[in-house]
Amino acid sequence: MKEFSIKKRYRLRSKEARAVWKDIVFNWGVKVDEERELDVGDLGGDRAFIMNGKIIAVEDPMALYLTLHGVNELKPRKGWVIVDMGAIRFLANGADVMAPGIVDADLDIEEGDMVWVKDETYGKTLVVGKAIMDGPTMASGATGKAIRTMHFVGDPVWNAEL
């Protein structure tokens, strides 16, 4: 797997940082001071946002999404999905989330939303991805692929050198 390192790192101006924080607050339901300083750098062609020495968000051509570090640091209240323990070994290798492994989900999730996945026993964040089906469908025990994985523990973003 290709390893990344942050290049061209700099501090965002207050106005730019506020715009990023507003996006994160709106889409992920986090409480954060929008005046908080934020660094940005190039991560293999995508913009990586850095706070407290960790990549907390990545902006690729498709979306701005929190990383696992961002989810753990900012504790979002929206877009959560809980999977059973049997799904962990697959998700740890970057597999997409299948609906039969989902135990519960935020009912406000809509198809196309960015979501984060945690395990049912320990509440550890495993995956950040894009919803392929809505929250009620995920929670109902549907079949098929529910979430396209975009970031997982051990991937190049997780292991990126700052």
Q: Which fold has domain 80-152?
A: 2.30.130
Distance between CA atoms of residues 97 and 119, nearest Å: 12
Q: How far apart are the first and last CA of the chain?
A: 18
Distance between CA atoms of residues 77 and 94, nearest Å: 24
Reply yes or no on whether the pLDDT at 36 is more than 60. yes
> pLDDT tens digit string along 86-126?
999 999 999 999 999 999 999 999 999 999 999 999 999 99
Q: Delimit the CATH 2.30.130.10 region(s) of the chain.
A: 80-152
Reply yes or no on whether the pLDDT at 1 is more than 60. no
CATH class, range 7-74 = alpha beta
Mean pLDDT (whole number) for 65-80: 93
Q: Delimit the CATH 3.10.450 region(s) of the chain.
A: 7-74
Reply yes or no on whether the pLDDT at 57 is more than 80. yes
> 43-47, 73-77, 96-100, 121-125 — which is least confidently predicted?
43-47
